[in-house]
Amino acid sequence: MATPLVELRNISIAFGGIKAVDNVTVDLYPGEVVGLLGHNGAGKSTLIKCLSGAYRRDSGQILINGEEVQINNPRDAKALGIETIYQALALADNVDAAANLYLGREILTRWGTLDDVAMEAEARKVMGRLNPNFRRFKEPAKSLSGGQRQSVAIARAILFNARILIMDEPTAALGPHETQMVADLIHELKRQGLGIFLIDHDVHSVKKLCDRAAVMKNGQLVGIVKVDEVTEDDILAMIILGKRPDQLTPKDKEAVH
């Protein structure tokens, strides 16, 4: 089997004595979408933040393409091609799409000033591939719809050659049409060989978008399953009861159903 794109090995993080993440191991292959599920406080966001550089792990290893790496801040993560698309749709609301796309990595003219025209041109190219209907390059991000913001955020990641994408409930605030748009986007990204971690509450969308699902409860990994091989109820049981499908008793099945 090929080398995983990402391996998180035996990761633990504690906050003031409470283990938010307890010895969790997860991997991700190119062109694959792995869903991370669990209740609020199950530790999925904390786990993923040590990959994106927002938190530092207490113990464990991170391997990218089979090599151990150190990720101490968001900059390190970005340098390794890890991009995060946050739940809060982290765009600066008051600047336009092109500026958001290039935030932190602006194109400069030879005099060291911002080259807005060049950035807009690049933005148009990238968005043309992702979301050809997008036109509103010069408007502040706050006037964009949820789906448009999501596509700007994803375009931002692609623009910088992200290989590993972390998406935090990408379809949470969206209507059916826009959800479909994001699903198409994710398929396109998979086709281009990116690996995606997808954090979500919604079992239905995980089943639809992901290849595998990793379920966490109380900071521990319950298990990793291929979504094709299990039912939605099985995944629900993992979230609620913290048991893998093979551990379920008939009574448990009854309770979840």
Partner 1 sequence: MVTTTERGGSGQDIRRDNPIKAFFRATELDTRILGMVGAMLVIWVIFDVWSGMLRPNEGLFGGAFLTPRNLWTLLVQTSSIAVMTTGMVLVIVMREIDLSVGSMLSMVAVFGAVLQVYHLGPALGVGHPAIWIIAMAACLLAGTLVGAFNGYLIAFLQIPSFIVTLGGLIAYKGVAFLLASGETVAPMDKTFKIVGGGVPEGWLGPFWSWTLGILACIGIVLALISGRKQRKKFGFPLRPIWAEVTLAAIGSAAVLGTTRVVTSYPWPFKLIEQYATANNVPIPQGVEDKSGAAICMAGDQIVRCTDGLIYYTGYAAPVLIALIVGGAMTFLASRTRFGRYIYAIGGNPEAAQLAGINTRLVTVKVFALMGFLVGLSAIIASARLDAATNALGQSNELYVIAAAVIGGTSLAGGVGTVYGALLGALTMQSIQSGMQLLNLPAAFQDIVVGTVLVIAVFVDQLYRRRIK
DSSP for 74-137, written as a single string = HHHHHHTTEEEE-TT----TTSBHHHHHTTTS--B-TTSSB-HHHHHHHHHHHHHHH-TT---T
Least separation in angstroms between CB 73 and partner 1: 9
Q: CA geometry: angle at 45 spanning 39 and 49, to 5°? A: 170
Residue linked to tokens 């792995």 = 34
Contact pattern for partner 1 over residues 86 through 125, marking x by CB under 8 A: x-x-xxxxxx---xx--xxxx-x---xxx--xx-xx----
Closest approach of Cβ 178 to partner 1, in Å?
20
Rounded to whole angstroms, the Cα distance separating 221 from 197 reads 15
Which residue number, 90 or 230, has a Cβ lying nearer to partner 1?
90
| Residue number with CB closer to partner 1 (94 or 249) | 94
Binding residues among 33-72 for partner 1 as defined by CB under 8 A: 54
CB 147 within 8 A of CB 85: no
Smaller CB distance to partner 1: residue 17 or 70?
Answer: 70
The answer to the question of residue 238 lying near partner 1 (CB under 8 A) is no
Q: Which residues contribute to the site for partner 1 (CB under 8 A)?
A: 54, 74-75, 78, 84, 86, 88, 90-95, 99-100, 103-106, 108, 112-114, 117-118, 120-121, 135, 137-139, 141, 143
